[in-house]
Amino acid sequence: MTQHTPFTGDAELAELDRLTGTWKVSGGAEGVVTYRWLEGGRFLLQDVSLQHEGQRITGLEVIGRERPFGAEEPGQDLKSRFYDSQGNTLDYVYELTGDTLTIWGGEKGSPAYFRGDFNDDGTAVTGAWVYPGGGGYESAMTRIA
């Protein structure tokens, strides 16, 4: 398999290279996720296989900057869309500041989000999903490959 690298012309996107690899997920959802670059390095893909609240969730997330048809420049935020095996499409905004990863549900600043911190050697991310009105859960990812 060819290993792709992030597009170096976008430093904020390239920071997400810390996610590349396979991670064991534990907490409110259990399973495995793998992050990998699409050729060209402008989009990070996440392959998902999780169990959450008794349901198996498999899917693909595409993370990068939107550049709609006809636009000359890509958008400001690192957005994603997650497609799952049950037909859902979920939108997120990624933000990595220092060692803190925030994934906003919907738009940046949303009351639904994940916030977690990388450990010192980058092999784990520990945090929690927060939902308006409660129902969030602790979540950890540990690099396995």
Give me the mean pLDDT over the 14-18 stretch. 97
Burial annotation 51-80 (CB, 10 A radius, 16+ → b, else e): eeeeeebebebebbbeeeeeeeebeebbbb
Extract the tokens encoding 110: 């949303």
Give me the mean pLDDT over the 68-80 stretch. 95
- Is residue 9 scored above 80 in pLDDT? yes
Q: Which of 28, 14, 15 is nearest to 127 (CA)?
A: 28
Can you give the C-alpha Rg of the chain in angstroms? 15
pLDDT digits (tens, 9 = 90+) for 24-57: 999 999 999 999 999 999 999 999 999 999 999 9
Q: Which of 25, 9, 12 is nearest to 138 (CA)?
A: 25
pTM of the model: 0.94
Q: In 10 A of CB 118, how many CB atoms?
A: 19
Extract the tokens encoding 20: 């590349």
Q: In this predicted structure, which of 16-20, 22-26, 71-75, 89-93 has the lowest mean pLDDT? A: 71-75
| Distance set, CA 106 to CA 30, 78, 80, 90 (Å) | 23, 12, 9, 7
pLDDT digits (tens, 9 = 90+) for 82-136: 999 999 999 999 999 999 999 999 999 999 999 999 999 999 999 999 999 988 9
